[in-house]
Amino acid sequence: MLIRWLFAEQQRGTEVGQAYAHTYHVPNGGQRNKKTAADLKQQGVKAGVSDLVVKVARGGWHGLYLEFKATPPHHAATAVSQREWLALAEEEGYCAVLARGLEEAKEVLREYMSWPATEILGDRQAMENGTEWRKAK
């Protein structure tokens, strides 16, 4: 529902709708059999990673990590690993937020996207390793 709302906001041309193209869901949750869970862990899936990432720098932050929880009576406790991930994200310069319910998540996204763009001061470092993706086919 949140992503559909964000898409609709993009179609309307609202400020918060600008986040749609830069927002993705991290599919960490859900029930899996042991083999699939082990395979995903080997591929880098980590417990506690937030549900949504907005890769837009605003308000002095590098981006937004949003942990999304339902409201009572369908709510679940925030796991220790989730609180640890939010704390780590914040330490590294990301805005880290827990939102309970659809309306609170909408308000978080509206507020975050209303902040001014984070300014980059100084020159960026140039990566010497890796394949130049701008020229790769």
Taking the model in full, what pTM does it have? Answer: 0.87
Q: Where are the domains of the chain?
A: 2-114
- Please provide the distance, in angstroms rounded to a whole number, between the alpha carbons at the two ends of the chain: 36
- Residue 83's Cβ-count burial label (10 Å; 0-12, 13-18, 19+) is middle
pLDDT, tens digit (0-9, with 9 covering 90-100), for 81-134: 999 999 999 999 999 999 999 999 999 999 999 999 999 999 999 889 988 888
pLDDT of 32-44, one tens digit each? 678 876 777 787 7
Question: What CATH topology corresponds to 2-114?
Answer: Trna Endonuclease; Chain: A, domain 1 (3.40.1350)
Mean pLDDT of 54-83: 93
3-state class percentages of the chain: helix first, strand second, coil last, to nearest 5: 40, 15, 45
